[in-house]
Amino acid sequence: MDTAISPALAARAERDDLLTLGVEEEYLLVDADEPRAVEAVEEVFAELPDALRDGVQHEYYRTQIEVASPPQLELGKLAEALSGLRSEVAAAAERAGARLVAVGTGPAAGHNARIVENERYYRMRERFGDLSPGQGMCGTHVHVSIPDPETGVLVLNHLRPWLPVLQAATANSPLFAGRDTGYASWRSMMWERWPTVGPTPYLRSHEHYLTLMADLEASGAMLDSGMLYWYARLSANYPTVEIRMGDVMPSADDAVLLAALTRALVASLLREAQAGIEAPDVEHPLLMAAHWRAAHDGLEGLNIDMATRETRPAWRLLRQLFDYVRPELERHGDLATATLLMGRLREHGTGAARQRALLAQGGSVEDVVDWLARTTRGA
């Protein structure tokens, strides 16, 4: 599976003034019969069909695996690609005696996992120590095409106030080591231990972006550009902005909705940037508070309206985002699908809410993991 954009697709996107998008998802591997994570990534890779290998990668721990969709213009094709990747990797995991689970952190108790045999990962462990205890943290990254890096930096500035509510919509890790953490996204809280994780700073230019990267690398806070873990950044490998603050979501439908909203948001903000409209310079502490609120409350609680600095229901803020990006959803042909998937999200709630609902009905951590495995595969 080729994850680079084809010349024909790039030409079509330019001709029709549309943005391509792609999604990366990280998953946890759990035991076939128990809810604990298992170090089975090499066994799963051995079971993968050859045609799938270009779109599947190792992650930091041996309990994790990552997929990357090829870039797409049509949301339906993205949905088909993600569903296919989930189904095929889940089947490979089952042949290897494991299960594929789309969840932000390990819900069940278990031993801390070992890292994958990779020189870069060994260097990370040596430099940063045990910043990721547990069985792995799994997120979603959405890539949206941009015309050039300078414009991409302008888009990053405009994105800053919108990302907390998108993070709230992805919340899918309330459980850790067999208990409810009190957070909708415990992965977010664990992830923030790394020195470069957080909201993207307000950037003066692409040169400023590159200078900050060089300074952070020189400081020792990151080994290379791949460790720039801002919630939105310029991709190091593709001509895209990469939005990366969210948990991996339970179903392919959840991920497709996030991708549709993200592309429409980037397209809307791109037009503002190209029209010379300056991005609001939201104070960093307020952004940190909004991202904390997203991790704590998810979509079922409150978040901060950046225009008024008042707390409002997070769902209402997501609806406000939807209304703002509606013209670009329509222009990209995504409005009908996004409307349907928004309705489903409103009906059943985030992954965190659904996990807690199972527990409230008398279910166990085992039941939660069983449900996650079925939902991940699409059964």
- Per-residue pLDDT reduced to its tens digit, 279-323: 999 999 999 999 999 999 999 999 999 999 999 999 999 999 999
**pLDDT, tens only, 222-280:** 999 999 999 999 998 899 999 999 999 999 999 999 999 999 999 999 999 999 999 99
**Residue 143 located in a structural domain:** yes
The neighbour count for residue 316, using CB atoms within 10 Å, is 13
**Residue 1 located in a structural domain:** no
**Residue 45 located in a structural domain:** yes
**Residue-level pLDDT at 4:** 66
Question: Residue 251 belongs to what domain range?
Answer: 7-377
**Residue 152 located in a structural domain:** yes
**Residue 2 located in a structural domain:** no
* 66: CATH: 3.30.590.20
β 21-31/64-68 pair status: antiparallel
Number of domains in the chain: 1
**pLDDT lower than 70: segments of the chain:** 1-4
**Residue-level pLDDT at 3:** 60
**Residue 285 located in a structural domain:** yes
**Residue 113 located in a structural domain:** yes
**Residue-level pLDDT at 334:** 98
**Residue 336 located in a structural domain:** yes
User: And the tokens for 118?
Assistant: 């990779």
